[in-house]
Structure 1
Amino acid sequence: MRKFILLSVMAFSLGSLTACDGRHSTSEVKTEIESNGVTTVKTKTDENGVKTESGLELSHYAVRAALGQNPNTGGYVTVRNIGKDDDRLVSVTCDCAEKVELHTMKMDGDKMMMAPMPEGFEIKAGQTLELKPGSNHIMFIGLKTRPADGDTLSLTLNFAKAGAVKIEAPVSNAPLSDASQHSGH
């Protein structure tokens, strides 16, 4: 039987916050559950009568082991939007690198071109964003530590609506192979 591991359940009400006019209020409920390599995040926010409901499932997360003396490496994750509202992955942070960027890859003639995506990636309700080798990905630039096969890195994925989500990504020489699919074995 597979166990559900409750990483964190946060329910808090910020109650009535005093803005300039004294009428600003916000309440938020955020739940994060990790089970068998899938992190599910659900957030409900009610701000001044405007309700949003976001829900994301993060899976297949991994970081490529640092190769040779290369100062950079890549990271990967699949994000499925199970909420009612669109969301956006706006950034990723990790203490392992001087800078972490979201990147896109596309063909320019016969050359593969990589470019930063400073605005991040939109994830429409009901759709899935795949950051994977040879495609859109997370780029760790200026490695401070050299992630090695078998290590685990703490990453924080920052979403426009779901907020900050922490995951523990396994490091692999062959990320997203069967061995890094979080099979729970």
Structure 2
Amino acid sequence: MRVLGPHDPLEVPRLSRIAVAGPPGAGKSTLARRLCERLGVPFVPFESFYHAPGWTVRPTWREDVLRFTERPVWAIEWQGEDVREQLAARAQVLVWLDHPRALVLTRVVVRTVQRRFGRGSPIAGGNVEPPLHTFFTDPQHIVRDSWRRQPLMRDRVRRLITEDRHPGLVVVRLRGRGQVRVWLRGPLAESLG
């Protein structure tokens, strides 16, 4: 398994299957959307497979995600414990958004506030995040969840790399918005021609 930085050439023949890893607020959906645009395919947010109204879980989410990734070309967020391994097995590239914690937390707070005022991207199933002040009372609040999941995501990706279960998978580690921009304009653009 190769681990690349923002300047390293991808050297992936016919790049067509990309998963994006990171904690809540890292920009997984934003990057996956941009990748789908570059690949010329529609973007389907992972949460639309998973969330039903009332924050319930869609019963067919696993099958729906795996069916989506049977397509020849896609980009998707690397989420869902029950399908994460299959996504890694099907992807050619895993983009790891390993941003500094302050950046991620700022982004998740801004996104939460924007959604509360109807200016952010909607959540699948018509769900609405609770007010930001519930951070103090709700142990599952998205800001707390992001804080908790950042080290867990690092461990997951590092384990994926060290265990080398998917030798053909290329991991691109990006730290910060600048590195994302460099990678999109450089190695990704060059790989897609």
TM over 0.5: no
- TM-score with structure 2 setting the length: 0.27
Which structure has the greater CA radius of gyration? 1
Normalised by the size of structure 1, how large is the TM-score?
A: 0.27
Which structure has more helix as a fraction of its residues?
2
